[in-house]
Amino acid sequence: MTAAENVCYTLINVPMDSEPPSEISLKNDLEKGDVKSKTEALKKVIIMILNGEKLPGLLMTIIRFVLPLQDHTIKKLLLVFWEIVPKTTPDGRLLHEMILVCDAYRKDLQHPNEFIRGSTLRFLCKLKEAELLEPLMPAIRACLEHRHSYVRRNAVLAIYTIYRNFEHLIPDAPELIHDFLVNEKDASCKRNAFMMLIHADQDRALDYLSTCIDQVQTFGDILQLVIVELIYKVCHANPSERARFIRCIYNLLQSSSPAVKYEAAGTLVTLSSAPTAIKAAAQCYIDLIIKESDNNVKLIVLDRLIELKEHPAHERVLQDLVMDILRVLSTPDLEVRKKTLQLALDLVSSRNVEELVIVLKKEVIKTNNVSEHEDTDKYRQLLVRTLHSCSVRFPDMAANVIPVLMEFLSDSNEAAAADVLEFVREAIQRFDNLRMLIVEKMLEVFHAIKSVKIYRGALWILGEYCSTKEDIQSVMTEVRRSLGEIPIVESEIKKEAGELKPEEEITVGPVQKLVTEMGTYATQSALSSSRPTKKEEERPPLRGFLLDGDFFVAASLATTLTKIALRYVALVQEKKKQNKESEKRNVTVQPDDPISFMQLTAKNEMNCKEDQFQLSLLAAMGNTQRKEAADPLASKLNKVTQLTGFSDPVYAEAYVHVNQYDIVLDVLVVNQTSDTLQNCTLELATLGDLKLVEKPSPLTLAPHDFANIKANVKVASTENGIIFGNIVYDVSGAASDRNCVVLSDIHIDIMDYIQPATCTDAEFRQMWAEFEWENKVTVNTNIIDLNDYLQHILKSTNMKCLTPEKALSGYCGFMAANLYARSIFGEDALANVSIEKPIQQGPEAPVTGHIRIRAKSQGMALSLGDKINLSQKKTSI
């Protein structure tokens, strides 16, 4: 056994704000103190040993004065002490004092108290010295017959661990445990015994399972989980066994334990691809999602359903369960609802789209009746977008959906109304047969629209698609109704002067701001406007927008009136209403669209074109360039960091493995000297939002020997972090102080935590306005092409470009693009790239401009800015 394997299983955190006690005072307390003093002294000894102190003089004191005590707290602490204290001499021989300790273990294994017996058995699982365990084997075997289940189940674990590490101490362990399992009644004991047989003697485990396979449903959930594990392993190793055990897995789908049902469903999917099996597993997943209250569980099981859907053969089965999947919408969590709607949308077909639309319409109506919740508006948006997608894919459903959704154009929440308006605009363009219905419904809700942005969109739709004389007259009537008494300024002045009748005032409705013919605000007496609240409510919407100073809607109104006036003239042949009509042309190609000539393509542009013949050849051979780029060996070598020099006494290098929320440092330590290095310890510290989980154990390195040390670092947020430290060691036989080798810093790259993501333009603008931290980075690069620079930044930052490709095509000397990414911690990062090509400086002039980064946290904004600064220039290969 090497020193690196001599690890500790118990970690105790203690504040180091006080001076450590001396060995003399500890010895005095352990010898002459009362039980309380001995307890405190023993705790201090344990902490000091964990922190690397050597206290060999206290070993015999503890054996003589503490070990005989029967206090339970003392006994519990002693188990920790014997676990961490060195039990061998430097040359590897067992200490003579441990014979006394071994006798104490034997007495505790025969103690009448079940807690002491059980905790001692748990402790024996951690021992790595066969010489200590050998005298205890009869006592351990005897514990299998103890009356208390706590002792028996820990005895099984102890026998399993000893059999795995030192098989010669108990060679008949599988047979012994099998006989124990047949006669055992306690669920936890049976689970431990069955688990041992799975790993130690799988044939015996199968023999036992075959004798009780019909009673599996009556077992406890912990035993059922282990049975599922065994069936999974056996059936994958030997597919011919599937028919023997698949019925058992079906039965476990009906278990009362959610964990068993989840594992059984996952196992069933891997064992059988039959439609009945897939349907049973999917139904089990759906029941788990609905019945479990934890949203994290719901999301995990939803992901499993989505994975099932990815398989082409399973998709048809899941399509029949769409209505069951929609039951998950009863969950109030928005993320669960979002995933459920997306899954239902992926599974919708012509067979079930009608039922899906009915459910979604009911859900939309429900959101209008419930009390306002912070997620209600967002949920309504999701429903509108889902119905939108259904209507586009299945045009027959549009007629049922449109009347329900158009009611929400008058919604007070502008975001939901904007989604409905977008849907209506696409529907009226796509479906000619529904134009009359949409225009009719739009005229019904036109007067109730509350948002000026929605009002402008509605005006455009009416002006663009009203094609009959009756529709045009209806639009004019609605516009006249929304304007109120005209001319507006004169009617407001008359109203202020009291010239209008009360009935007319109620019809037209006064305002708070009065505008004169000169464009200035007129004074208003507080005495002349009674009941201001009611009058404010009675003001027509378009009149209110205009008097509030929103003249953009006035321009939209003018454009709409012009369109319908010209159309009316063409429809109604009356000479007094003629104007000249302008000849309209359908523009198929915009004048500024770029024209691509392959013969005139520059060399640098040719490089970015993919060789289609080469790609098809690689695909036919089952190989692609993307797979070559994802070579695991190459990526692993790229993450090896050299920590010390080749001439240092100790050479060290680290492989940095990033796994979402934690970082594993696998450090290779090489003794380059001819001396034995003792207590060689890797001491690490962190800078940034990183936290070292545990202190690596010291080890002993023989001359020119090497060892691997692993250290875990927890990551809390997306910030640049630094890990630094040193390696300290003692030279065997030297009298000098400890030697120290300083390690190079390890810089943690935030790119491991940032992933490309997408969002809508509205969400991007909302986040851009809300985020308070901004970092402006000046472009300083040697790249001379605008698009090349943008692609280089995207590759360096793991961000996604939200600006469509068509908007970036062509060449005009400048470029603006929006970028977006999310970290694995849920942090959003936005960036706006504004760059230009200074043509006056010549064709080889580099790109200039700025990149503005916005994030919710300062660390995210600064770290991303640093990353862009470091990677702006493209290095020549």
pLDDT (tens digit, 9 = 90+) per residue, 546-593? 777 777 888 888 888 888 888 888 887 765 544 734 444 455 667 777
Top pLDDT among 279 and 576 is at 279
CB 58 within 8 A of CB 85: no
From the centroid of its chain, how far is CA 600?
47
Task: Give the integer Cα–Cα distance in Å for 437 and 402.
Answer: 9
User: Can you say whether the dihedral through the CA atoms of 385, 390, 396, 401 is positive or negative?
Assistant: negative
pLDDT band with cut points at 50, 70 and 90 for residue 663: confident
User: Can you say whether the dihedral through the CA atoms of 29, 34, 37, 41 is positive or negative?
Assistant: positive
- Model pLDDT, residue 599: 60
- Model pLDDT, residue 588: 66
Residue 440 has pLDDT above 50, yes or no: yes
pLDDT (tens digit, 9 = 90+) per residue, 40-90? 888 888 888 887 777 777 878 888 888 788 888 888 888 888 888 877 777
- Model pLDDT, residue 619: 59
User: Can you say whether the dihedral through the CA atoms of 190, 191, 197, 202 is positive or negative?
Assistant: positive
User: Can you say whether the dihedral through the CA atoms of 322, 324, 329, 335 is positive or negative?
Assistant: negative
The phi, psi pair for 522, rounded to 5°, reads -90, 150
- Model pLDDT, residue 14: 60
Residue 877 has pLDDT above 50, yes or no: no
- Model pLDDT, residue 543: 76
- Nearest alpha carbon to residue 656 among 718, 725, 728, 710: 710
Top pLDDT among 452 and 769 is at 769
Residue 832 has pLDDT above 90, yes or no: yes
Report the pLDDT averaged over residues 325-350: 85
Top pLDDT among 100 and 598 is at 100
- Model pLDDT, residue 819: 92
pLDDT > 90 in the chain, percent = 4
pLDDT band with cut points at 50, 70 and 90 for residue 524: very low
Report the pLDDT averaged over residues 813-826: 86
Question: Does the pTM exceed 0.75?
Answer: no
Query: 327-336, 402-411, 616-625, 710-719: which range is least confident on average?
Result: 616-625
3-state helix, strand, coil split of the chain in percent (to 5) is 55, 15, 30
**What residues have CB less than 8 Å from 533, skipping those under 6 apart?**
none
Residue 852 has pLDDT above 90, yes or no: yes
- Model pLDDT, residue 834: 92
- Model pLDDT, residue 505: 41
Beta strand extents in 57-179 (DSSP E only): none
Q: What own/partner pairs with CB < 8 Å and gap ≥ 24 does 603-610 have?
A: 604/785
User: Can you say whether the dihedral through the CA atoms of 302, 827, 805, 584 is positive or negative?
Assistant: positive
Could you give the angle at the alpha carbon of 338 between the alpha carbons of 332 and 339, nearest 5°? 110
Report the pLDDT averaged over residues 534-545: 63
Which DSSP string corresponds to 766-814? Answer: HHHHH--EEEEEE---S---HHHHHHHHHHHHT-EE-S-HHHH-S--SE
Beta strand extents in 4-102 (DSSP E only): none
Task: Give the integer Cα–Cα distance in Å for 397 and 711.
Answer: 58
| Mean pLDDT (the chain, rounded) | 78
pLDDT (tens digit, 9 = 90+) per residue, 125-164? 887 878 888 888 888 888 888 888 888 888 988 898 888 8
**Length of the chain in terms of residues written:** 877
- Model pLDDT, residue 613: 57
Could you give the angle at the alpha carbon of 633 between the alpha carbons of 628 and 635, nearest 5°? 80
- Model pLDDT, residue 4: 43
Report the pLDDT averaged over residues 756-772: 88
pLDDT (tens digit, 9 = 90+) per residue, 222-258? 877 888 887 877 777 777 777 777 788 888 888 888 8
Top pLDDT among 455 and 831 is at 831
pLDDT band with cut points at 50, 70 and 90 for residue 833: very high
Residue 609 has pLDDT above 60, yes or no: no
Top pLDDT among 650 and 618 is at 650
pLDDT band with cut points at 50, 70 and 90 for residue 390: confident
Task: Give the integer Cα–Cα distance in Å for 148 and 523.
Answer: 92
pLDDT (tens digit, 9 = 90+) per residue, 632-651? 444 566 778 888 988 889 99
- Model pLDDT, residue 308: 84
pLDDT band with cut points at 50, 70 and 90 for residue 817: very high
pLDDT band with cut points at 50, 70 and 90 for residue 538: low
pLDDT > 70 in the chain, percent = 83
From the centroid of its chain, how far is CA 552?
42
Top pLDDT among 42 and 721 is at 42
- Nearest alpha carbon to residue 218 among 252, 243, 181, 180: 252
Tell me the Cα Rg of the chain: 38
- Model pLDDT, residue 652: 93
Report the pLDDT averaged over residues 673-701: 85
